[in-house]
């Protein structure tokens, strides 16, 4: 990675050098109307167009000097070692609903039948349909009861939102504990990549959080607004206690961060993570959904003596509060849709406030949010506009679909 080795992200906006993506695959075609809700989709994307759109997204990075890594490729490289592969297959199956010995051994056999580790990873992500594994001995009630369910292992259609399973913070990662059962298996990939990948595994990357911790936290809630300040959402997907744990770990290591601002946002589907209502686009500019400004409470967390944490409920208005912690005179909050109302609701829903900065004042956005996009242009932000007809159906924008591995320092 960097000359010094390892990962490095100490801002939301420093020039992006390396990013991790996942190109949506067959898992998206394993969504059905009955499954959508549980698998956190509102509609079913058309895979071919979703892939075309995602390729435009990846090209936008490359055209701007960002090296693109794909999660599925790193995972496949990690599993080239047979011992690791066997361990991985066992752990993956342990974390599915497959419990009966007959079903389990049929599935293990099936996974081992793949010659290429890339095909194996793709299949694990896509989900295994019942007809894909051969006949097996039914030796539990579960085998009978689940017989009319279409899948042996569920598809993982949310994986193209690489923002959430882990977050690069400073020189380490927060390997997250996902809120939903549906997404919890996603973090196994990052776990193995950072332990065993021929390159990443050797970097000895510290973890500020781990997937077996108790409280849920997801990357969409974790923002690095400067080398001193993190902003983390308390949201539908992230628990306050997880933020405590992360704060303690990060403050006790040799990192530059001094303050965590915990943003207590409304816990509803439309605002699932902090980055669906609030993102940083320049040194002094943020996009924000006007509807959270009222109900939002912010708490600051600092390092106290003896490893304790010091809390304070902040009472300043958000722009003043951000200016204070960023040591600026003024901060500009750009309201998605312009003001509270129909356009704001619509464009926030379609990820109008989920921009991804690839450099200060330079962001990737979805084409569909034309009012917010124009506002950003008016504020002097440079936009890279990508199509979004199919990708947006999973409720995530450019920030959700990417995890920075390296950014230049500001």
Among 27, 29, 122, 282, binds other proteins (CB under 8 A): 29
Give me the least distance between CB of 292 and other proteins, in Å please: 14
Which is closer to other proteins, CB of 129 or CB of 241? 129
Site residues (CB under 8 A) for other proteins, limited to 124-163? 129, 150
* Residue 267 binds to other proteins (criterion: CB under 8 A): no
CA 288/CA 364 separation, integer angstroms: 16
CB within 8 A of 202, min separation 6: which ones?
Answer: none
Q: Taking the alpha carbons of 372, 375, 379, 380 in that order, is the dihedral positive or negative?
A: positive
Give me the least distance between CB of 130 and other proteins, in Å please: 9
Give me the least distance between CB of 168 and other proteins, in Å please: 31
The active-site residue, picked from 89, 400, 401, 405, is 400
Among 294, 315, 342, 378, binds other proteins (CB under 8 A): 342
Nearest to 125 by CA among 48, 46, 182: 182
Helix (H, G, I), strand (E, B) or coil at 279: strand
Give me the least distance between CB of 338 and other proteins, in Å please: 13
Which is closer to other proteins, CB of 226 or CB of 373? 373
* Residue 388 binds to other proteins (criterion: CB under 8 A): yes
Q: Taking the CA of residue 52 as centre, how many other CA atoms within 13 Å lie in the half-sphere pointing to its CB? A: 9
Backbone angles phi, psi at 209, to 5 degrees: -155, 155
How would you classify residue 334: left for phi > 0, otherwise alpha for psi between -120 and 50, otherwise beta? beta
x/- mask, other proteins, residues 37-76, rule CB under 8 A, reads: -----xxx-x-xx---------------------------
User: What is the size of the binding site for other proteins (CB under 8 A)?
Assistant: 29
Instruction: Assess whether 400 carries a catalytic annotation.
Output: yes
Give me the least distance between CB of 118 and other proteins, in Å please: 23
* Residue 302 binds to other proteins (criterion: CB under 8 A): no
Longest CA–CA separation in the chain, Å: 70
* Triad 4, 284, 208: Cα angle to 5°: 40
Which is closer to other proteins, CB of 211 or CB of 393? 393
Among 122, 154, 191, 343, binds other proteins (CB under 8 A): 343
Give me the least distance between CB of 58 and other proteins, in Å please: 19
- For 80-130, the DSSP string reads TSHHHHHHHHHHHHHTSS--SHHHHHHHHHHHHT-SSHHHHHHHHHH-EEG
* Triad 126, 131, 133: Cα angle to 5°: 80
Helix (H, G, I), strand (E, B) or coil at 233: strand
Q: Which residues bind other proteins (CB under 8 A)?
A: 29-34, 42-44, 46, 48-49, 129, 150, 270, 341-343, 345-346, 349-350, 367-368, 370, 388-390, 393
For the annotated catalytic residues, the residue numbers are: 400
């Amino acid at each position: 990675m960097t000359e010094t080795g390892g990962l490095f992200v100490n801002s939301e906006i420093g020039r992006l050098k390396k990013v991790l993506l996942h190109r949506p695959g067959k898992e998206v075609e394993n969504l059905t109307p009955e499954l959508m809700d549980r698998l956190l989709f509102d509609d079913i994307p058309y895979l071919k167009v979703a892939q075309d759109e995602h390729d435009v997204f990846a090209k936008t990075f490359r055209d701007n000097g960002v090296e693109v890594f794909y999660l599925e490729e790193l995972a496949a490289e990690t599993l080239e070692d047979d011992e690791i592969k066997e361990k991985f297959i066992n752990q993956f199956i342990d974390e599915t609903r497959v419990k009966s010995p007959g079903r389990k051994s049929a599935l293990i056999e099936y996974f081992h039948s793949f010659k290429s580790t890339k095909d194996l990873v793709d299949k694990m992500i896509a989900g295994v349909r019942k007809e894909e594994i051969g006949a097996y001995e039914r030796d539990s009630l579960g085998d009978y009861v689940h017989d009319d369910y279409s899948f042996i292992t569920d598809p993982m259609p949310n994986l193209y939102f690489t923002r959430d399973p882990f977050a690069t913070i400073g020189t380490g990662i927060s390997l997250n504990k996902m809120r939903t059962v549906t997404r919890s298996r996603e973090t196994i990939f990052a776990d193995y990549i950072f332990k065993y990948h021929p390159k990443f595994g050797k970097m000895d990357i510290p973890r500020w959080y781990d997937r077996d911790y108790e409280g849920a936290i997801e990357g969409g809630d974790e923002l690095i607004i400067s080398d001193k300040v993190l902003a983390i959402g308390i949201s539908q997907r992230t628990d306050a206690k997880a933020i405590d744990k992360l704060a303690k770990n990060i403050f006790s290591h040799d990192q530059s961060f001094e303050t965590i601002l915990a943003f207590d946002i409304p816990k509803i589907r439309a605002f699932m993570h902090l980055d669906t209502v609030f993102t940083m686009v320049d040194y002094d500019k943020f996009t924000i959904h006007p509807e959270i400004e009222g109900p939002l409470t912010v708490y600051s967390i600092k390092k106290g003596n003896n490893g304790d944490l010091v809390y304070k409920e902040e009472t300043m208005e958000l722009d003043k509060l951000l200016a204070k912690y960023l040591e600026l005179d003024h901060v500009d909050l750009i309201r998605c849709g312009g003001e509270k109302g129909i356009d704001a609701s619509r464009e926030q829903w379609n990820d109008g406030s989920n921009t991804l900065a690839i450099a200060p004042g330079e962001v990737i956005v979805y084409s569909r949010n034309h009012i917010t996009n124009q506002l950003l242009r008016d504020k002097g932000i440079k936009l890279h506009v990508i199509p979004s007809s199919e990708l947006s159906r999973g409720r995530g924008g450019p920030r959700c679909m990417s995890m920075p591995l390296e950014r230049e320092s500001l």
